[in-house]
Amino acid sequence: MPTSLNNTASERLDPEPTQSESVVRSAGVVSVAVFMSRITGLLRESVMARLFGAGLIYDAFMLGFRIPNLTRDLFAEGALSSAFVPTFSEYLSQRSTEEAARLVNLVATALIIVVGAVCAAGMIFAPVLVHLLAPGFAAVPGKFELAVRMTRIMFPFLLLVALAAQAMGVLNACNKFGVPALASTFFNIGSVGFGVVLGMGLGPTLHLTRIEGMAIGVVLGGALQLGWQLPSLHRLGFRFRAALDWSDPGLRRILALMVPAILGNAAVQINVMVNTNFASSISDPIRGLDGPVSWLSYAFRFMQLPLGLFGVAMASATLPSIARSVALGQMDEFRRTLSNSLGTVFLLTIPSSVGLVVLGKSIIGAIYQGGRFQLYDTQQTAVALSYYAIGLMGYAALKVLSPAFYALNDARTPMLVSLGSILVNYAAASTMIKFAGLGHAGLALSTSAVALFGFVVLFAVLRKRIGGVYGRDLATQIGKVTLASAVMGAVIFATSRGMAMWLGVSQFARLADLVVSLPIGLAVYYAACRALGLSEIDGVIRAFARPIQRRLKRSSS
């Protein structure tokens, strides 16, 4: 990347006059892109299911993908972005563009060296990793060997996604959100497209099996995810030039922030493993041990949609803005932007939680019910989804609050809270299962308890540290949003019950319920918000509708 940035690019780095409104607009762009990513991800899973079904081949593929993906979750995306964006934003605000470009080169070079070494080690020790994560594979002839092969093919994906995460951080810090948010959509499309071509079209010529072609497709999809962002980086004036200086203050600061972030993300993975262990020992009265793990997995997958649309989108748009405010010493602007971002998160996630609770059976039934996924599976998955939904507000707020600490150069507090969540999760899960007798639903509830615990603690600490976060305004807004959501919930509960009495519980009936209840619920919620004086709803609608309108105009032209 060059030693200088052009002047027009530099001018575009300045914050908008109304920073909070700019954050919401940017979040709208990210939300549309996240929605496209979720849809294309569902398409990718559908293609894999149709080609390989469930069993030896797909199990081996998923494990081979999960191993580098787990490493990515630990540090390649969340930890790297949280550590890189505040530091880079400070360089953009307070230092020369040459120094900012040099920092990008230093980080990219360090990633290539460090993550490249991790990839090489992962490929060499793939048999050990597979044995640690799935010792039972060895009991099935050929399954262990195939999983090792898949792991070795897909491990380079980690390096590509780490570089893509850095590119995303650079673009976000430069107020470019649409392109990086769409990157994962290109991964989904590329992994399937390249995989099908290599596995089915060119497979015999290249002596590749179908599943090997799909594994290579994952790596090429990762390359497309990175490559999609490069033209935007180039237009801003960035070009990669290898540079290495481990003593550079900016690089050392990023590495110092990443270490506690990695530990914090590791705590999340530990909670997932603990809950999976608990779930695998739960015996359902009808299904026995065959059900709870899957029900929780399917339910949490739906949680990812509103979490990505609202929590991740707001976090991606908020972090660069508040990082610039800290760098410029504008703490009142920091507080205002953070408060408005949290308010927007609550405005969107509280009604989403109510909708997931009331319409959970229809949502799960419309998507999954059929074939081996029976009515009982729909009911049990919907129960888990209802308990997960209780913590949606906490989950989404954490996505905004944790980066705020990184912007303040404090990675230690989120790490300590995350590590403390391990104890909270274990205590809550044990209580819900052993004493409350809630089964798999208790695990979903304990997960929500952990999210709400983390939100409350981080909010209290941050509020004390920066002298307030407009807490009274937030409390008033939460009260109004909760009331509006309750009105919406009562209405869609009535419409959903009416549809069930009329059409029954078939997959068609579930889909019809969603077609009728969702628009009614949205209209009632909007009307209730306006009646309660929540004018913010109009700004949110405009922000989320603008990127769709632009895309439609481009399509028509």
Domain boundaries, the chain: 31-259
Tokens representing residue 181 in the block:
């948010």
The pLDDT tens digits for 203-223 are: 667 677 888 888 999 999 999
Q: Kindly state the percentage of the chain with pLDDT values over 70.
A: 78
Q: Which among 485, 491, 500 is positioned nearest to 537, based on CA atoms?
A: 485
| Secondary structure tally for the chain: helices H, strands E | 23, 0
The alpha carbons of the chain give a radius of gyration, in whole angstroms, of 24
Nearest-angstrom CA–CA distance, 156 and 159: 6
Note the residue count of the chain: 557
CA angle 462, 465, 470 (to 5 degrees): 60
Which pLDDT does position 5 carry in this prediction? 42
CA 158, chain centre distance (Å): 17
Sign of the torsion angle spanned by Cα atoms 138, 141, 143, 146: positive
Q: How many other β-carbons are positioned within 10 Å of the β-carbon of residue 118?
A: 18
Residue reference for tokens 């209730």: 528
Nearest-angstrom CA–CA distance, 80 and 127: 28
Tokens representing residue 509 in the block:
């009936």
Nearest-angstrom CA–CA distance, 219 and 225: 10
N-to-C CA span, the chain? 35
Nearest-angstrom CA–CA distance, 150 and 236: 37
Residue 336 pLDDT exceeds 90? no
Residue 551 pLDDT exceeds 60? no
The pLDDT tens digits for 448-468 are: 888 899 899 999 998 888 887
The pLDDT tens digits for 90-125 are: 888 788 888 888 999 999 999 999 989 989 999 999
Is the pTM for the entire model greater than 0.95? no
Mean pLDDT of the chain: 79
Nearest-angstrom CA–CA distance, 191 and 218: 5
Nearest-angstrom CA–CA distance, 557 and 552: 9
Given pLDDT bands bounded at 50, 70 and 90, which one contains residue 10? very low
